[in-house]
Each structure stands twice: as C-alpha cells, then as structure tokens.
Amino acid sequence: MEIKKIIIVALFYFVGILFFSCNNNEKHDNNSAKDTLSSNGDVSIINIISPKPLSLYTIGDKIEIKANISNDYIPDSSFILLNNKVEITNFKTAKNTINTDSCHTGNNSVQIVVWNNGKQHLSNVTILLKSNVIPEKFTYKVIKAYSHDSKSYTQGLIYENGFIYEGTGQYGESTLQKYKLQNSELIQSYNLPEDVFGEGIVVYKNKIYQLTWQSQIAFEFEKSTFKLINKFNFNTEGWGITNLGDNFVMSDGSNTLYVLNPETFSEIKKIEVYDNIGPVNQLNELELIDGKIYANVYQTDNIVIIEPQTGKVTGKINCSGLLDKTKVTKKVDVLNGIAWDQQNNKLYLTGKLWPQIYEVQIVKL
C-alpha cells in the first residue's frame, strides 16, 4: 500500500514538472513585438552602430540600421521597432533598412529587441526627422488699418463680433482688455497681479484664459465680466495659446507646441514643429485658422503655418514692412498678435507697442 502511495506521489510530481516546463516553452515560443517593451533587459548585449543618437533625417528617408550583438549571445528572436511599431523581424546585424514615411517630425525612437531563453534585451536610439515639405511662401496686402493702444505690449489677440480681446505683458503692466476694433473704445479691462507677466489668451465655453510667462499660472475669467474664477498650473513657460478642436495648444518659445486639456491644463501630447531645414524655434502668439496653426516667430517678421497633425511647416508669411512707421511716435517692439474673423474670413495683425492693427490679405508668392 505504501509503495502505491509513493508511486502516485511521484507520478503527480513528474506531471507537474512536465506541465511547468511546457508552459515555459510556450511562453518563450510566443515572445512577440507586444512583449518587447515590458522590460529594459541588458542593453550591453546590443550595440547600435547606426544611426547615431539625434541624427537628423527627412521624413520619407530610408534609414540604415546597423548593430552588433555580443559574440557569446545567440538570440532566439529579434525585432527592430520604430516608435514601438515592429518594422523588421529576425533582423540581420550587418544591414537593415527602415522607412520613415509614417513618422512625425522631431524625436522618433528606433528600438532593437532580442530574446534568448525567455529573457529580453533592449537597446534604443533617438533620431530626429525634419519635414519633407517645402513651405509655400506668402506676403500680404494691407486692406485697412485701425488704431491700437501704443502702450499695449501685445501678447495675445482675439477677434469676436466687432470686438478685440487682447492680453498684454510686462511686470506691473499686464492686462486683459476688450475694446471695439473700429475705434479702440475700451469696454473692459482687468489688471493682472504685478508679479506676473501676462501672455497669450484663448476663449473656451464663455470663459477666457490668459497665460503668464514664467509664473506657470493660467488665469480663467468669465468672458462677459472678466471676473477671475480659477487658476491653473502648467509645467513650462507660457507664450501663445489657441484652440485646437476641443483642446488648447500652447507655445513656450521653443519649437514644441503643447496640446492641453482645457479643463485641467494637463498635457495631452506634444507637437514638434519642423520645416524642411530643421526645428522652427521661438514660436510665440498662436491662432487657429482653417485647421492650421498660425504662429508668430519671435524677433522676426515671419508667421509660420503649421499642420498640427504632423508638426510640418507648410507655409511662411513674410510680414516685413507691415508697420507704418509714419504713425510711430515712440519706441515699438516686434510683430506679435494674430486674430481671425472666421465669419468674414478676415485676418488682423499687430505688434508689441504698435500704434495700429492691420487687416491684411495673405498673398501667395
């Protein structure tokens, strides 16, 4: 009887070992691209030779991938991924080519993953992609000029039903204003705290929001009364802001635009802005026009037109000579301020401390 018990226990033990072994083999055989990002593994196993970190390419380029794998390591399976998507399975260490047609501008991640005996090893390199689109060139034609308060250090501009909403800057002088476009009659004004530097503005659901430069605070006002009702924090400098669908998009003076949740100001994603030469920095005041983002480039006379889905600059407007210097009686600053009358397809431009706002027509060169 005891012998039978021993035999039965031994049989169960053997079956258990066999079952565990089969499960382990099954897991190993099913290693796939979906598993590849579960662990960093031992990156010393893989040495990526090409491309070099932060190498600049153009969207659509075919990029050669070269890597060395440790001589005493024989992979069971291997993958090359581009932005977490498998491009090549069981790659060759000598030469592999990936296509960048579906990539976005800016930072893109190339990853090499190998598996051996159920263990993952990962190495990655970041490459940069510039736009494959040559921006169209535009100039402007002045249709009409309107008076503008030459004391206003313009940071944000919005047109709505005959009124201009303007956010102004400078410590101790920052304001939110509403006035009539036709005669600049001031309707409402709110003075921001003296320790903040006002920046861009945006309207959303009968509220108006104003950024600050380095305080990392956005103020929320009732649009009808300018009553301050809330404050939000964000994690970068605030420059320009506009609507993008049901979200906001904000600039911080770099080539990066931040898509934000309008209810919380939390970041949803980034848009890295590139033209066919490289990153376009100093993005400032923003305005959404017919699905594209128009952005003043700080310290220049240029406005760039950005495709938000890709980050590509599709057009550039040269606004040099826009300021009528015969109207200037004191120091002025740079072009900054874009407002769009969607109902009548009219575009208004101004600058910091400029004495006029200009209705302009964009002309293709």
**Sign (positive or negative) of CA dihedral 287, 256, 249, 198:** negative
For the cut 60, the answer to whether the pLDDT of residue 278 exceeds it is: yes
Supply φ then ψ for residue 5, to 5 degrees. -60, -40
In the predicted model, what is the mean pLDDT of residues 144-148? 97
Q: What's the pLDDT at 93?
A: 66
Q: Where are the domains of the chain?
A: 31-130, 136-364
Q: What's the pLDDT at 10?
A: 40
Query: How far, in Å, CA of 213 to CA of 194, rounded?
Result: 13
Q: What's the pLDDT at 95?
A: 76
Per-residue model confidence as pLDDT tens digits over 110-128 = 999 988 888 888 899 999 9
Structure-block tokens of residue 80: 């090359």
Query: How far, in Å, CA of 323 to CA of 154, rounded?
Result: 14
For the cut 60, the answer to whether the pLDDT of residue 6 exceeds it is: no
Longest Cα separation, the chain? 115
Per-residue model confidence as pLDDT tens digits over 50-67 = 999 999 999 999 999 988
Query: How far, in Å, CA of 275 to CA of 131, rounded?
Result: 5
In the predicted model, what is the mean pLDDT of residues 282-290? 97
In the predicted model, what is the mean pLDDT of residues 177-200? 96
For the cut 90, the answer to whether the pLDDT of residue 16 exceeds it is: no
Q: Find all residues with CB under 8 Å of 27, minimum gap 6, and list them.
A: 118
Are 87 and 110 in contact by the 8 Å Cβ rule? The answer is: no
CA distances from 238 to 53, 216, 254, 283 (A): 29, 7, 11, 11
* 90: confidence class by pLDDT, cuts 50, 70, 90: confident
For the cut 60, the answer to whether the pLDDT of residue 331 exceeds it is: yes
Query: How far, in Å, CA of 95 to CA of 172, rounded?
Result: 61
For the cut 90, the answer to whether the pLDDT of residue 192 exceeds it is: yes
In the predicted model, what is the mean pLDDT of residues 176-200? 96
Are 137 and 320 in contact by the 8 Å Cβ rule? The answer is: no
SS3 22: helix
CATH class of 31-130: mainly beta
Q: Find all residues with CB under 8 Å of 15, minimum gap 6, and list them.
A: none
For the cut 50, the answer to whether the pLDDT of residue 256 exceeds it is: yes
In the predicted model, what is the mean pLDDT of residues 55-81? 88
* Between 247 and 73, residue with greater pLDDT: 247
Structure-block tokens of residue 261: 């949740």
Per-residue model confidence as pLDDT tens digits over 222-245 = 999 999 999 999 999 999 999 999
Q: What's the pLDDT at 116?
A: 83
Question: What is the helix, strand, coil percentage profile of the chain, to 5?
Answer: 10, 50, 40
For the cut 90, the answer to whether the pLDDT of residue 32 exceeds it is: no
∠ at Cα 234 (230, 236), nearest 5°? 145
For the cut 80, the answer to whether the pLDDT of residue 9 exceeds it is: no
In the predicted model, what is the mean pLDDT of residues 78-101? 86
Q: Which CATH number fits domain 136-364: 2.120.10.30, 2.40.70.10, 3.10.180.10, 1.20.1420.20?
A: 2.120.10.30
Supply the mean pLDDT for the chain.
Answer: 88
Q: What's the pLDDT at 261?
A: 96
pTM assigned to the model: 0.84
* Between 32 and 310, residue with greater pLDDT: 310
* 73: confidence class by pLDDT, cuts 50, 70, 90: confident
Structure-block tokens of residue 263: 């209810």
For the cut 70, the answer to whether the pLDDT of residue 324 exceeds it is: yes
For the cut 60, the answer to whether the pLDDT of residue 100 exceeds it is: yes
In the predicted model, what is the mean pLDDT of residues 191-203? 97
Residue type for 68, please? Answer: N
* 37: confidence class by pLDDT, cuts 50, 70, 90: very low
Domain 31-130 identical in fold to domain 136-364: no
For the cut 80, the answer to whether the pLDDT of residue 348 exceeds it is: yes
